[in-house]
Amino acid sequence: MAIRKPEIKFTKLFINNQFVDSISGKTFRTINPATGEVLASVSEAGQADVDAAVNAAKNAVKYNAPWRTMQPKERANLMFKLASLIERDLQYIASLETVDNGQPYSGIVNDMQFVIDVFRYYAGWCDKIRGSTIPIGGDDGGYAYTRREPVGVVGCIIPWNFPMLMLSWKLGPALAAGCTIVLKPSELTPLTALYFGSLVLEAGFPPGVVNVVPGYGPTAGEPIAYHPDVNKIAFTGSTQVGKLIARAAAESNLKRVSLELGGKSCLVVHDTPDLAKAAEIAQFASFFNQGQNCTAGSKIFVHESIYDEFLAKAKELTAARKTGDPFDEATMHGPQIDQKQLTKVLDLIQSGIDEGAKLEVGGKADLKEGFFVYPTLFSNVNQDMKIAQEEIFGPVQMVFKFSNLDEVIDQVNDTKYGLASGIITSQMDKALAYVNRVHAGSVWINCYDNVMPQVPFGGFKQSGYGRELGEESLKEYLEVKSVICRPVPT
């Protein structure tokens, strides 16, 4: 059952298995985006706190530390226990994330189940990480093999749109690989990450394995990115900040980097025996989590033979989306994360109107309380418009008309991003032609945003590099060591 006003239990930094005040004593406020209410004052990490967290993580991954020498099955058991604790507290954690993030509670419950699945999936990998033997020739009995070893201390910097999901996508494979973590959640949504720290402690992880340092990008994120004892950065966020992190990694110690960045994704509706279902898929693609989703399919390309009928259905569904209290079971649409994001979305909507797009539905904000923007639908959009090129990260759907697949693929690829894409069609030859030619890391056929723990996820072009989820993600957290052994000379 949802808890409308969950108790805020942890607001201090979590370092070396202890909750501690920031060294500076600074705090910042976190706000409920549905009401504007201040939820709590949270300790604000700075350089000194990052240093302490990195030092704890470094000690925990030393060659003789308990975490490093732990048997794989014991590491798996800790991860399974952690997943079970999240499952035990699912309703509380979902409620906490609802008030801190604003996504409707029902959606966050689904997120929490995915988080549990991710930790259990990677727990199952702990005793399956292995090297290989390699033939080297000769008759002296020599041999070669590889070892896969943890990369070391990992700085994980996660966004505000899916706090616990993004935490699990990074910590799951990192912990399975035997790494240690310094996690910086967004200053807009720190509460569930801090509660997660308490579950790490309860599960019995050794000190220093997971550390949580909420704070701002320039004063907490940047020190992690530049830190000489951090061996890898795993970042999800904007392309602009991703470039800064890549630069910091290069200018410091050439630490590894994986980046899951922005997107401007498209869904093509080529043909379908069920137009209503196609319109529902497009709604989910565009409006899930109020459009605050890196894979948001905000550009819907519809074949001219079904365009008018599809647009009419899209207008009907968009107008019917209930906006309001995230804890109301009927609510489909919550608030944007803060005033800054609300203003950005409204400015982009206005740019669409100014540039000649036709506003079919929405386009306004509810300014009574919270940061609500009504679901918005545009038609008559062209590729040169600002709304067609920039990532909006808000509830804006655009419907385009096309006549042939070659034409639409060129338009889909006409972007600096390459995170995701989708096509709805009953013709598998058309679907495969689209898959083979579109520049995107994930392509969904007759569905959208269908993400699973075992399937890799990541982008092309300026949507980043590296992969999350699946076996591929483990490679981001492992070093390969080659060993060549010859007999003792006689």
Distances (CA, A) of 92 to 5, 87, 150, 192, 350: 10, 10, 33, 10, 39
Q: Looking at residue 476, what is its pLDDT?
A: 97
Q: Which residues, at least 6 apart from 354, have a Cβ–Cβ distance to it below 8 Å?
A: none
Indicate the fold that domain 266-453 takes in CATH: Aldehyde Dehydrogenase; Chain A, domain 2 (3.40.309)
> Residues of the chain with pLDDT > 70: what percent?
100
Rg for the chain, CA atoms, rounded = 24
CATH architecture of 13-261+463-482: 3-Layer(aba) Sandwich (3.40)
Would residue 260 show up in a list of annotated catalytic residues for this protein? yes
Whole-angstrom distance, CA of residue 21 vs CA of residue 266: 45
Match 């889909």 to its residue by tokens.
412
Whole-angstrom distance, CA of residue 426 vs CA of residue 302: 14
Distances (CA, A) of 464 to 157, 245, 441: 14, 12, 10
In angstroms, how far is CA 449 from the centroid of its own chain? Answer: 12
- Region of 137 (left: φ > 0; alpha: ψ -120 to 50; beta: rest) is left
Examine the pLDDT at 113 and tell me if it is beyond 80.
Answer: yes
The active-site residue out of 44, 260, 360, 468 is: 260
Work out the pLDDT band at 366, boundaries 50, 70, 90. Answer: confident
Q: Do the beta carbons of residue 371 and residue 400 sit within 8 Å?
A: no
Of residues 197, 209, 172, 277, the one with CA closest to residue 54: 209
Extract the tokens encoding 297.
Answer: 């399919």
Examine the pLDDT at 367 and tell me if it is beyond 80.
Answer: no
Whole-angstrom distance, CA of residue 326 vs CA of residue 371: 12
Burial readout 2-27 (b: 16 or more C-beta within 10 A, e: otherwise): bbeebebebbbbbbbbebeebeeebe
Work out the pLDDT band at 394, boundaries 50, 70, 90. Answer: very high
Q: Looking at residue 160, what is its pLDDT?
A: 97
Q: Looking at residue 368, what is its pLDDT?
A: 80
Examine the pLDDT at 490 and tell me if it is beyond 80.
Answer: no
Q: Sign of torsion, CA 237 240 245 250? A: positive
Of residues 369, 368, 424, 363, the one with CA closest to residue 392: 363
Whole-angstrom distance, CA of residue 414 vs CA of residue 410: 6
Mean pLDDT of 302-307: 97
The whole-chain average pLDDT of the chain stands at: 97
Q: Looking at residue 200, what is its pLDDT?
A: 98
Q: Looking at residue 264, what is its pLDDT?
A: 96
Q: Do the beta carbons of residue 222 and residue 145 sit within 8 Å?
A: no
Q: Looking at residue 418, what is its pLDDT?
A: 97
Q: Where are the domains of the chain?
A: 13-261+463-482, 266-453
pTM higher than the cut 0.75: yes
Would residue 294 show up in a list of annotated catalytic residues for this protein? yes
Write out pLDDT tens, residues 443-453: 999 999 999 99
268 strand-pairing partners: 301, 423
Write out pLDDT tens, residues 191-240: 999 999 999 999 999 999 999 999 999 999 999 999 999 999 999 999 99
Work out the pLDDT band at 141, boundaries 50, 70, 90. Answer: confident
Q: Looking at residue 138, what is its pLDDT?
A: 81
The active-site residue out of 222, 294, 360, 391 is: 294
